[in-house]
Amino acid sequence: MAGIAGAACSSNVLFGSREVGSDGASLAQYRGLRPVENMQLAPTGRRPSGSISTSASKSRTIRAMVSQTVSAPKREKDPKKRVVITGMGLVSVFGSGIDTFYDKLLEGESGISLIDRFDASSFSVRFAGQIRDFSSKGYIDGKNDRRLDDCWRYCLVAGKRALEDANLGSEVLENMDRTRIGVLVGTGMGGLTAFSNGVESLVQKGYKKMSPFFIPYSITNMGSALLAIDTGLMGPNYSISTACATANYCFYSAANHIRRGEADIMVAGGTEASVIPAGVGGFIACRALSQRNEDPKKASRPWDKDRDGFVMGEGSGVLIMESLDHAMKRGANIIAEYLGGAVTCDAHHMTDPRSDGLGVSTCIAKSLEDSGVSPEEVNYVNAHATSTLAGDLAEVNAIKKVFKNTSEIKMNGTKSMIGHGLGAAGALEAIATIKAINTGWLHPTINQDNIELDVTIDTVPNVKKQHEVNVGISNSFGFGGHNSVVVFAPFTA
């Protein structure tokens, strides 16, 4: 269950030696999530006594350089290798409608509220971007709907809505070569409710009382598998679990299947449903979450000096990615173009981002290279921006390394309104990026009351702005040092 073990954003937690959990692990200093108090770091090459150490975090020099683009590169021209977006589907705290979702974002409405899915009164964090009134009617039959973990229910609804949006309903699919259509929907945590319930049954009643669905509905590949089973899609099918970078990894890999000629269409995205006691409790134990219980809607505040951690969210987002050649032949409505992407690793620490930002800046530079885009062409960034003390600034610094002149760039944080969707975050934010391209309007980053002085890029504070996006990038980073960036632009023939 690697997908369950490490699902969170690169929020800069530093494990130290002052507080010991029931399993004996030390969780003392949380640099980036909580201020470090009275901590004297050991000399280079040594760590404080009792700290958790990994071989990757030992002192060593990594010699690497961010590649600099010296002239405007050429974009892909081959219609069989160009990848376009022909459909989108989602499940979010604002419902399952794409337009409603983006309208709420443009209005600056917060979807964060007190948790009522379970009794959270004894929890030190009692709020999240919890989905309410979710309906799978018309997408999942009643018997399966009752059995499924919400992670897979969200995935099936978002995936099927995306197929509908792309005019790829069941009748159309029956007349297509479905061996050329794949599914790649990832998740950071997997079926966490199914896993938690199974463990509870094992402990309280014994293994004989465990559900036969415990394993199938817990493992992280089941979203892609179930969506393929329901739709008959027989192309490349698997999942990726890279914590909060998951969805972008899926987009990047899906596009490469198309570019290599292995698929004509890929159904790709991310899904997550971890607003449950185990999920919330686990992140509380990491001290990763904001504790602004008295005013939840003000809790997620990227780049604001008063931020104190991220807010959990959930949902699913799915894109229909298709070769331009195939889309043109079937007369598909083309929403936007995926130009390229990149994935890198910090190779530094389980949870801390590199202080020099090299992993992130390298990832951004590589994504532009893969896209055939020069830095000067980019004028919009949908940032990872989780609302953690160090993570927000580290991302801004990395952006400044790649884009020497940020005067024309606007950058916003979707998580300020919907919380952090973990494995689904990049998918929901990709949809927000594409809607920005389509509408010419950028949603605000809300709760921008006291912005950090180092944040000199326009964060679209509190009120939406009209902005014609030339090229937009969407960033997602995850525990383990996983970095991912995807690049979108308006489609031009």
Could you report the per-residue pLDDT of 304-327, keeping only the tens digit for each? 999 999 999 999 999 999 999 999
Give yes or no for residue 38 having a pLDDT over 80. no
**What are 58-82's pLDDT values in tens digits?**
334 444 444 444 455 789 999 999 9
On whether residue 145 sits in a domain, the answer given is: yes
Average pLDDT over every residue of 410-423: 98
Longest dimension (CA), the chain: 67
Give yes or no for residue 5 having a pLDDT over 90. no
What is the average pLDDT score of the chain? 88
**What are 273-293's pLDDT values in tens digits?**
999 999 999 999 988 899 999
With beta carbons less than 8 A apart as the criterion, state whether 416 and 442 touch.
no
- Whether 250 sits among the annotated catalytic residues: the reply is no
**Structure tokens that stand for 260 in this block:** 């290599």
Q: Which domain holds residue 410?
A: 85-489
With beta carbons less than 8 A apart as the criterion, state whether 423 and 241 touch.
yes
**What are 211-232's pLDDT values in tens digits?**
999 999 999 999 999 999 999 9
On whether residue 298 sits in a domain, the answer given is: yes
Sign of the CA dihedral with 93 first, then 387, 162, and 245 last: negative
On whether residue 24 sits in a domain, the answer given is: no
On whether residue 432 sits in a domain, the answer given is: yes
Average pLDDT over every residue of 445-466: 97
On whether residue 2 sits in a domain, the answer given is: no
- From 257, 326, 384, 467, active-site residue: 384
Three-state DSSP at 185 gives: strand
Residue 72: predicted pLDDT: 58
**What are 354-381's pLDDT values in tens digits?**
878 899 999 999 999 999 999 999 999 9
Question: 281 Cβ partners below 8 Å, 6+ apart?
Answer: 123
Average pLDDT over every residue of 181-201: 96
Give the number of domains in the chain: 1
Give yes or no for residue 10 having a pLDDT over 70. no
The Cα 461–Cα 387 span in angstroms is 14
The Cα 305–Cα 393 span in angstroms is 11
On whether residue 401 sits in a domain, the answer given is: yes
- From 257, 349, 420, 482, active-site residue: 420
In CATH, what number is assigned to the domain containing residue 456? 3.40.47.10
Buried b (16+ CB within 10 A) or exposed e, 397-435: bbbbbbbeebeebbbbbbbbbbbbbbbbbbbbbbbbbbb
- From 151, 155, 244, 363, active-site residue: 244
10 Å CB burial of residue 225 (0-12, 13-18, 19+) is middle
On whether residue 330 sits in a domain, the answer given is: yes
With beta carbons less than 8 A apart as the criterion, state whether 180 and 263 touch.
yes
β-strand partners of 337: 84, 489
pLDDT bin (cut points 50, 70, 90) of residue 492 is very high
Residue 305: predicted pLDDT: 97
Sign of the CA dihedral with 421 first, then 422, 424, and 426 last: positive
- Whether 244 sits among the annotated catalytic residues: the reply is yes
With beta carbons less than 8 A apart as the criterion, state whether 396 and 402 touch.
no
10 Å CB burial of residue 78 (0-12, 13-18, 19+) is exposed
On whether residue 66 sits in a domain, the answer given is: no
- Whether 257 sits among the annotated catalytic residues: the reply is no
Residue carrying the six token digits 């790829």: 168
Residue 71: predicted pLDDT: 52
* Percentage with pLDDT > 70 across the chain: 85
Give yes or no for residue 192 having a pLDDT over 90. yes
pLDDT bin (cut points 50, 70, 90) of residue 46 is very low
